[in-house]
Chains A and B, each alone.
Chain A
Amino acid sequence: MTEKLVIIGNGMAPGRMLEHLFEAEPGRYAVTIFNAEPRVNYDRIMLSPVLSGEKSYEEIVIHGDGWYIDNGITLYKGHRIVAIDRRAKTVTSDHGVTEPYDRLVIATGSVPFVIPVPGHDLPGVLSYRDLDDVNAMMLAAQSRETAVVIGGGLLGLEAAAGLKARGMDVTVLHLMPTLMERQLDPAAGYLLQKAVEERGIKVITKAETRAILGEDKVSGVELADGTVVPATLVVMAIGIRPNAALAKDAGLEVNRGIVVDEGMATSDPAILALGECAEVGGRVYGLVAPLYEMARVAAARLAGDAKAGFVHAETPTKLKVTGIDLYSLGDFADGDDREEIVLRDATAGIYKRLVLKDNRLIGTVLFGETGDGAWFNDLTRKKVDISDMRDTLIFGQAFQGGAPMDPLAAVAALPDDAEICGCNGVCKSRIVGAITSKGLTSLDDVRAHTKASASCGTCTGLVEQLMSLTLGDAYNPAAVQPMCGCTELGHDDVRRLIKAKKLKSIPAVMQELEWKTSCGCAKCRPALNYYLVADWPDEYADDYQSRFVNERVHANIQKDGTYSVVPRMWGGVTSSRELRAIADVVDRFQIPTVKVTGGQRIDMLGIRKEDLPAVWADLGKAGFVSGHAYAKGLRTVKTCVGSDWCRFGTQDSTGLGIRIEKFMWGSWTPAKVKMAVSGCPRNCAEATCKDVGVVCVDSGYEIHFAGAAGLDIKGTEVLGQVKTEDEALEHIVALTQMYREQARYLERIYKWAKRIGYDEIRRQIMEDADKRKAFYDRFVFSQKFAQVDPWSERVSGKDKHEFRPMAAVGFKEAAE
């Protein structure tokens, strides 16, 4: 019979434990996980790149929902366990779910320290622990006001850099005289402070926080010397402590963390603990490498290997702030029995310090240039006697043996068991072995098979060097990602060649560009169809068989195969006549759900495909046209009531919104385009998270672009300000046309703009009047062919075959 394994916590350590366990003993346990966070397992080390905008949440997910389903795991998201009954062997969640266990694993992680000064519980005071904290910080950063980060350690500095990248004015407060004093000696701490300050972040050391100020929300931080630092956001990142309260309540032995033996067993042999909440050999851990080691041991024990045991190892520290290279490992305190080798290059901003004891390396601090970290780590772990190379040791591996080596040769010279990926404990020979035995050719493949470079990513360069060493010319890291399996060409090349070779049909593209399949696939066909529609609006015959079903039948397919219908409601304005017509349609076709959308219009859901033309006919009689809610095209232009009604309105935002929507509807775009116009900076139409937005001001119209409020949340960039409505329309249209001509299919404006550069877009649209006019004219030309209401076309009989079965057979005759 399968045994019941219950896990409290869904972080990286238990996730890794399960991977090992399923590999060793598939099917032995029925697994249930309780996760206090309402989501799947993601890579917490990568929260800083999410905060700085270099990655999205989706990119850091380790186990998607499918993984839990595939492995038969019951995952309770958002359930916090409130009690463990060790006698009955059950756990109970705050939502009242009680689950029995044979073996229990506690992986409750850690909780952030909060300094108990007055005001620590004010709104606007955050810690930096999970995705909720990051989302809250990103929201707060949209104000672009002032932030204070308390704590100049690893997390604090990464938070500060992320908030700075999001446009905030950031000050770091650190209690000690130098930054990261636990990992860096004072000299490196000083260099780090300079590097941080060069990025525009203020640093105050020896700063003791006395109080956090503010009435309803935070307004500043007061220091012990009376200094007040203004702040609209305060992030406390001073450290973590093991979250052992639940274990303590259950009567398990708890010291700093939950006390476990080398096999991860707590004082109750049926219960294991691992991760940041566990204390093993008197130590608690916060870096991923030892936590993954715990996961390996716990999995082996659960699989029946009684010999697996945890051994302490030093773990290097690296800072994930783009542009600051820092590496520290081991013990570097001064001492009578220790010697040190130091190299400083002030101009280049390089500092290296090696601490030796008995001719063996015990501590390393590298700043500015960290390439030799892996080699020094290897010497430290193996306790190599360095007497022979002492003179040149600090110059790194490249200088040993006389001549400087190029980086590839240096990697080649690393011994087979040298650790390449510290987070996952992957050595050189395992990576090379996987590349050759499994025929891996891409970085993603290597990550999938070995986990190397799959956590914090700082060893990516080393892994790539190993790949080019092993594969030779077969490895091409700069290779463009092909559109799909049907071609080697990337989207940009295909777009360029369609124009250059004047390719005007899908078969022509596939023939000329040597497609590998006879008629493409569901990835490339819709992309090609869009590119051809956008590039040859008057000549290309739209290929409906290459459009996704929504764009083919002009409605949104739902999970049960029915459709939803959203008519256009210009600028979100409607009337009693329109509402009555919608009500009549809902009654006549017994439409089960009517819902107001986020884009200020009305969605009718659950319509049978066969009924669509009749529904459109009725809506058409009331003057409605398609809202294109299903299209990679212009969706809505959301507005506020503006100067017509609002006492704060500065311009006619409703009128401008309607004008834009009437001008631009029907246009196809690489991905959906949502717009908004707000009548004043209070921004009730939420224009600053749209693809394109306008914020009206007394002196004119501020045009925004490249916002997002879906998978990603991102405030807009300002394109520029114009004086009249006509100018606003011309700039918005030109921007959209530039996007239509340049972006890759399914690439939203914010991703396209980030890729090609905000300044480049401003230059072409705001500064180059000729270019702007040319973009505008091409859009207007294209609209001559695009602005046809697809619903009325279909009411008149176009594409009839789409809407009804070709036959109904096998039914008994009604007359019988």
Chain B
Amino acid sequence: MKWTAIGNIDDIPPRGARCVATPQGRIGVFRTADDRVFAIEDHCPHRGGPLSQGIVHGTSVTCPLHNWVISLETGEALGADEGSVRTIPLKVEDGRLLIALEAVGAAAA
């Protein structure tokens, strides 16, 4: 797997998110209150809302458009809603964030 650097964990506020632009669309990168990080497609399965702009709580994010709650761990919609987004492999090395870019291509294909 080829890892691509996207920045540092400190670029993201705790309980917050940033996005990463790729040719296949945006990826949301999330940091939880306990400093775990996750990457998922930045595209809510409901109406395509930008998940990286939602409120992050626990290991979930609430979409800013219609309040769907998406698990950052599995990419699945929680509660009564059904749908999912692709999760993207992400690792932290000395605070540096790296993602597996080819998985992004697979997600969009």
Q: A557-B65, A801-B13, A806-B19 are in contact. List 6 more A-B contacts (CB 8 A).
A: A517-B58, A521-B55, A559-B65, A561-B53, A805-B20, A806-B6
Tell whether A549 is near chain B: CB-to-CB under 8 Å: yes
Most B CB within 10 A of own CB, among A518, A520, A810: A810
Instruction: Flag if B4 contacts A548 (CB, 8 Å).
Output: no
Contacts of B89 in A (CB 8 A): none
Contact with A along B29-64 (1 / 0, CB 8 A): 100011000000000000111100111111010101
Interface residues of A in 521-562 (CB under 8 A from B): 521-522, 525-526, 544-550, 552-553, 557, 559, 561
Tell whether B104 is near chain A: CB-to-CB under 8 Å: yes
Instruction: Flag if B49 contacts A561 (CB, 8 Å).
Output: yes
How many residues from A make CB contacts under 8 Å with B? 28
Instruction: Flag if B6 contacts A809 (CB, 8 Å).
Output: yes
Contacts of A809 in B (CB 8 A): 4, 6, 20-22, 99, 101
Tell whether A519 is near chain B: CB-to-CB under 8 Å: yes
Contacts of A801 in B (CB 8 A): 11-13, 18
Q: Which residues of A contact B (CB under 8 A)?
A: 517-522, 525-526, 544-550, 552-553, 557, 559, 561, 801, 805-811
Tell whether B85 is near chain A: CB-to-CB under 8 Å: no
Complex alpha-carbon distance, A143 and B6, angstroms: 63
Which of B4, B14, B50, B69 is the one whose CB lies under 8 Å from A522? B69
Given contacts A519-B15, A525-B55, A545-B15, contact A810 B23 (CB under 8 A): yes
Instruction: Flag if A805 contacts B57 (CB, 8 Å).
Output: no
Q: Categorize the interface residue count of chain B.
A: 35 or more
CB of A271 to closest CB in B, whole Å: 37
Enumerate the 4 nearest inter-chain pairs by beta-carbon distance, A residue then B residue, closest first.
A522-B62, A806-B18, A807-B6, A808-B21
Which of B19, B23, B55, B62 is the one whose CB lies under 8 Å from A545? B55
Instruction: Flag if A518 contacts B62 (CB, 8 Å).
Output: no
CB of A202 to closest CB in B, whole Å: 49
Instruction: Flag if B19 contacts A805 (CB, 8 Å).
Output: yes
Instruction: Flag if A557 contacts B54 (CB, 8 Å).
Output: no
Tell whether B75 is near chain A: CB-to-CB under 8 Å: no
Instruction: Flag if B21 contacts A805 (CB, 8 Å).
Output: yes
Complex alpha-carbon distance, A27 and B64, angstroms: 33
Contacts of A806 in B (CB 8 A): 6-7, 11-12, 18-20, 29
CB of A595 to closest CB in B, whole Å: 20
Most A CB within 10 A of own CB, among B47, B57, B62: B57
Complex alpha-carbon distance, A807 and B64, angstroms: 22
Contacts of A547 in B (CB 8 A): 55
Complex alpha-carbon distance, A20 and B15, angstroms: 45
Tell whether B26 is near chain A: CB-to-CB under 8 Å: yes
Instruction: Flag if A545 contacts B20 (CB, 8 Å).
Output: no
Contacts of A519 in B (CB 8 A): 15, 33, 57-58
Most B CB within 10 A of own CB, among A518, A526, A545, A808: A545
Instruction: Flag if B101 contacts A810 (CB, 8 Å).
Output: yes
CB of B69 to closest CB in A, whole Å: 7
Complex alpha-carbon distance, A758 and B104, angstroms: 58
Complex alpha-carbon distance, A141 and B55, angstroms: 42
Contacts of B48 in A (CB 8 A): 561
Most B CB within 10 A of own CB, among A546, A547, A809: A809
Contacts of B11 in A (CB 8 A): 801, 806
Complex alpha-carbon distance, A546 and B15, angstroms: 9
Instruction: Flag if B13 contacts A808 (CB, 8 Å).
Output: no
Q: Which residue of A lies closest to B7 (CB)?
A: A806
Instruction: Flag if A810 contacts B18 (CB, 8 Å).
Output: no
Which of B20, B34, B54, B60 is the one whose CB lies under 8 Å from A808? B20
Which of A521, A544, A550 is the one whose CB lies under 8 Å from B57? A521
Interface residues of B in 68-109 (CB under 8 A from A): 69, 99, 101, 104
Complex alpha-carbon distance, A426 and B10, angstroms: 60
Q: Which residue of A lies closest to B105 (CB)?
A: A810
Contacts of A525 in B (CB 8 A): 55, 57
The 14 sampled A-B contact pairs (Cβ below 8 Å) are A517-B58, A521-B69, A522-B62, A525-B55, A544-B13, A545-B16, A545-B55, A546-B15, A553-B53, A801-B12, A806-B6, A806-B11, A806-B19, A807-B21
Instruction: Flag if A518 contacts B58 (CB, 8 Å).
Output: yes
Instruction: Flag if B55 contacts A522 (CB, 8 Å).
Output: yes
Instruction: Flag if A522 contacts B19 (CB, 8 Å).
Output: no
Contacts of B24 in A (CB 8 A): 810
Complex alpha-carbon distance, A548 and B54, angstroms: 7
Contacts of B13 in A (CB 8 A): 544-545, 801
Instruction: Flag if A546 contacts B101 (CB, 8 Å).
Output: no
Q: Which residue of A lies closest to B32 (CB)?
A: A519
Contacts of B101 in A (CB 8 A): 809-810
Contacts of B50 in A (CB 8 A): 557, 561
CB of B9 to closest CB in A, whole Å: 10
Q: Which residue of A lies closest to B18 (CB)?
A: A806
Given contacts A801-B12, A806-B11, contact A522 B49 (CB under 8 A): no
Complex alpha-carbon distance, A522 and B54, angstroms: 9
Contacts of B20 in A (CB 8 A): 805-809
Complex alpha-carbon distance, A550 and B23, angstroms: 27
Complex alpha-carbon distance, A548 and B49, angstroms: 14
Q: Which residue of B lies closest to A553 (CB)?
A: B53
Most B CB within 10 A of own CB, among A549, A801, A811: A549
Q: Which residue of A lies closest to B43 (CB)?
A: A561
Instruction: Flag if B65 contacts A548 (CB, 8 Å).
Output: no
Contacts of A518 in B (CB 8 A): 33-34, 58
Complex alpha-carbon distance, A685 and B84, angstroms: 47
